[in-house]
Amino acid sequence: MSFKKPEKAESIADAIPHKSVKRYACIANNCPMPGAIFSGSGGGMCAYHYGTNSEDWGRITRTLQDWQCVTDEINACREAFNNPSTATRPAVLEAMFDSAWRRLQPLVGSWSEDVKPQLTKGGKPDSYGSWILRLERFIGARVVDCIRHQVGRKAA
């Protein structure tokens, strides 16, 4: 690791020695998401497993795995915004956003209208960050559906 002189660095991020950030997996078995929410003694959980009944964890994980093309893009975006070498470069983030949608579009079939970059509530075109929030809401809705479906079955 070397420390570049600021006048030679392309950005402030270049001038700062980088340390990679350790990624903690969600404690639910085989969950593809990071365990970003501390859940007590067991470790971290993702937002989709946090606060749910452990009997639903397998269904939630399967839903996340079924939508791996979307969770991969969410995780790639989070990584880009947490890595100083990309987070401080708007042009790099914009290029990553373009690539992400080009990768995802052929994989989402009829869900394309739901997950495509759109205008935000403020009327601006999605940025990489706002688009990923859209993908997170999409996945959240699929997870809620898988839990509701199970609850409905129990009630019948």
Q: What are phi and psi of 44, to 5 degrees?
A: -95, 155
- B/e letters for 16-33, b = 16+ CB within 10 Å, e = fewer, are eeeeeeeeebbbbeebbb
Rg (CA), the chain: 18
9 or 141: CB nearest Zn ion: 141
Considering only residues 44, 46, 67, 104, which one is a binding residue for Zn ion as defined by CB under 5 A? 46
Stretch that binds Zn ion, among 41-49, 73-81, 93-101, 143-151 (CB under 5 A): 41-49
x/- map, 15-34, Zn ion, by CB under 5 A: -----------x-x--x-x-
Q: How many residues at the interface with Zn ion, by CB under 5 A?
A: 6
Q: Show contacts with Zn ion in window 92-121 (CB under 5 A).
A: none
* C-alpha torsion angle, residues 105, 110, 115, 117 (rounded to 10): 60
Rounded Cα–Cα distance for residues 99 and 101 (Å)? 6
Considering only residues 49, 132, 139, 146, which one is a binding residue for Zn ion as defined by CB under 5 A? 49
Binding site for Zn ion (CB under 5 A): 26, 28, 31, 33, 46, 49
